[in-house]
Amino acid sequence: MILNVSGRTDIVAFYSKWFLSRYKEGFVDVRNPFYPKKVSRIYFSDVDAIVFCTKNPLPILKNLRTITKPILFQVTLTPYKKDIEPYVPSKGLIIEAIKKISVQIGIENVFVRYDPIFISNVYTIDYHKKAFAHMCALLDGYVKTVIVSFLDDYKNVRKNKATLNFKAITEEMYKEIGLSFSESARKHSMTVQTCFEDRNLVEYGFKKEDCLSQKLAYQVTGKTYKPWKARKGKKCNCVEMVDIGVYNSCSHFCKYCYANFDELQVKRNFQNHEESSSLLLGCIQKEDCIEVRKNRYR
């Protein structure tokens, strides 16, 4: 199985010590978000690879060499300021961390997500074009693939609509972004792609590819995986992964986030985290039903 760490929260940024403790212990427990008394126990001996998804890889950087499983990194790097991303560290620090990760695990295994794009009076088309070009220049030789997506209509987005103040993206805007981003990526030996987007911009030089495709998964693990069942019918063909995160537990508080929609709940959940627990939040209770999740890809 492939472990997703994590699409539901930024485990790397805020819970790295816990994750490394679980890795050393040999297993991790995950509550079913729909049936909380059901707990999946995952033994790392059954894990084929780990996909780290984060806005801040710094907390785990010095411990990467202790992880012997194949690793992929997807680092979200966007040009927004503190009004949109109040607790994300300096972009310069993240750039330097990406470079170090690339040296450690290989350029083929590091992906940058410029995600999501939205257009406003502050974050204009020109602003994004310059920011993207600058990012590509700084990461030349360290990253080959940049994944782009556009703002979606999540609950948190609607709640923060006044702060985001986003505009509808016209076809002319898509064209301008597509041509400019493709050219910036090409100049620095990178490809730019979309995943799971209605507008894939392939006519402007983008690739249409999955964030974790069958081909990439096979390159990393030597195994063939089924499509992710949870995303069936949603135009996403990424391979099946097991997410060990919990929604409403990321303290970045980005105004566009899909995984957070209740800041008070995030703060409560963060207080409910124990580094010694096998669960990200809380502890195993007597009434919990623990079932070992087996690797179906032998």
- At position 62, the amino acid (one-letter code) is K
What pLDDT, in 10s, does the model give residues 158-173?
999 999 999 999 999 9
Domain assignment present for 12: yes
Helix, strand or coil for residue 210? coil
Domain assignment present for 114: yes
CA angle 247, 7, 136 (to 5 degrees): 135
Token pair listed for 1? 């199985």
DSSP string, 181-197: HHHHHHHTT-EEEESS-
What pLDDT, in 10s, does the model give residues 243-293?
999 999 999 999 999 999 899 999 999 999 999 999 999 999 999 999 999
Domain assignment present for 144: yes
Domain assignment present for 146: yes
Distance of CA 242 to the CA centre of its chain: 13
Percent of the chain at pLDDT > 70 equals 98
Mean confidence (pLDDT) of the chain: 95
**Which residue segment(s) compose the domain that 178 sits in?**
2-292
Domain assignment present for 220: yes
Q: How many domains does the chain have?
A: 1
- For range 137-152, the mean pLDDT: 97
Percent of the chain at pLDDT > 90 equals 91
Domain assignment present for 63: yes
- For range 181-186, the mean pLDDT: 98
Domain assignment present for 298: no
Residue 279 contacts residue 30 (beta carbons within 8 Å): yes
Token pair listed for 154? 């999540």
Domain assignment present for 297: no
